[in-house]
Amino acid sequence: MTRFAFKIEYDGRPFMGWQRQAHGPSVQQAIEEALGRITGDIPVVHCAGRTDAGVHALAMRAHVDLDYAIAPFRLMEALNAHLRPDPVAINACEEVSEDWHARFSCVGRRYEYRIVNRRAPLTWESGLAWRVPQPLDEARMQAAANLLIGRHDFTTFRSSSCQADSPIRTLDQLDVVRTGERVYVHAAARSFLHHQVRSMVGCLSLVGLGHWSVADMGAALEARDRAALGHNACPDGLFFIGANYPSD
C-alpha cells in the first residue's frame, strides 16, 4: 500500500463543495471516481480542509492510499486525463510516509478572499469574486481586522451547522490589501470554523462601507452570538490557497 499526496486546484462553481454529497457533485467524488477508473477500486481521498459549495482552491492538499503500482508522475497524468472535463487539476503528486495525513498533519491553512470593488458587473470573474459596487475603505477594514487577530471565541463568526468541538481559534493573519479596484483579504490559522472566513469578510465589508464602526466589529466578536453577525460574504470570492506541514 502506497500513500500518495496531491496538490489540487479546482473551480468550485460546479460542485456542492469538497465533501461527497447525496444531492449533487463534489470535488472528492470527482477525484475518487477518476482514481477508480485508473485502479479498478474507488478509494477514499482525505483533504486538508473541506470547502463549501462554490468555494475554490489553488493548492488544496490531499492524500490517498493505493494498492496499485504506479509512479507519482504517471498517477498525476492519469488523474488529470480522467478528471476531464471537470475543472479539477492535480498540480503535484508524491509518495509520502504512512503517518503523513493531509488533515491531521496540517499545522496551518491559508485562504484568500477576492472582492472586486466597482460599479460595473463582473464578466469573466463572475463566480470567482464578490462584486461590491459601493466604495470600500480598506484602511478601516484593516483596523477592524486587527481586532480579530489572536486567540478568541469566534462563535459570532461560526455557522450554526459547524461541527467543531470548540469555537476557540487562533487567527494568525487577517490582512486587507487593495490593488486598484480589487480588495484581497488574506487569512491564516491552524484551523478555521465553518463559514468563519466568509463571516469575517462579510463584517469587514460593513466596516468598509461605513455601515459599521471599527468598534462594532469588536462588539460582534465579544457578543459570542451568531445573531450578532452582520453579514456573511458569498462563496464566490473564497479560495483555499495553501496548507502548511511540519516538513515544509
Evaluate if residue 248 carries a pLDDT over 80.
no
| Model pLDDT, residue 28 | 97
Evaluate if residue 161 carries a pLDDT over 90.
no
The CATH class that applies to domain 2-96 reads alpha beta
Evaluate if residue 247 carries a pLDDT over 90.
no
Evaluate if residue 36 carries a pLDDT over 80.
yes
Residues ≥6 apart with Cβ < 8 Å to 205: 115, 132, 136, 141, 231, 233
User: What is the residue whose three cell numbers read 462563535?
Assistant: 155
Kindly report the pTM of this predicted structure. Answer: 0.95
When the pLDDT of each residue in the chain is averaged and rounded to a whole number, the result is: 96
> Are 2-96 and 109-244 the same fold in CATH?
yes
Mean pLDDT of the region 170-180:
98
| Model pLDDT, residue 160 | 81
Mean pLDDT of the region 225-230:
93
Among 217, 201, 69, which Cα is nearest to 152's? 217
Evaluate if residue 171 carries a pLDDT over 80.
yes
Q: What is the pLDDT of residues 13-25, one digit of tens each?
A: 999 999 998 889 9
Q: How confident is the model at residue 206 (pLDDT cuts 50, 70, 90)?
A: very high
Among 150, 155, 140, 152, which Cα is nearest to 204's? 140
Check: CATH 3.40.1010.20 for 109-244? Answer: no
| Model pLDDT, residue 23 | 87
Among 67, 108, 75, which Cα is nearest to 5's? 75
| Model pLDDT, residue 237 | 98
| The C-alpha cell that represents 30 in the structure block | 470527482
| Model pLDDT, residue 96 | 97
Evaluate if residue 227 carries a pLDDT over 80.
yes
What are the sequence ranges of the domains in the chain?
2-96, 109-244
3-state secondary structure the chain: CEEEEEEEEECCCCCCECCCECCECCHHHHHHHHHHHHHCCCCCCEECCCCECCCEEEEEEEEEEECCCCCHHHHHHHHHHHHCCCCEEEEEEEEECCCCCCCCCCCEEEEEEEEECCCCCCCCCECCEEECCCCCCHHHHHHHHHCCCEEEECHHHCCCCCCCCCCEEEEEEEEEEEECCEEEEEEEECCCCCCHHHHHHHHHHHHHHCCCCHHHHHHHHHHCCHHHCCCCCCHHHEEEEEEECCCC
Active-site residue numbers?
52
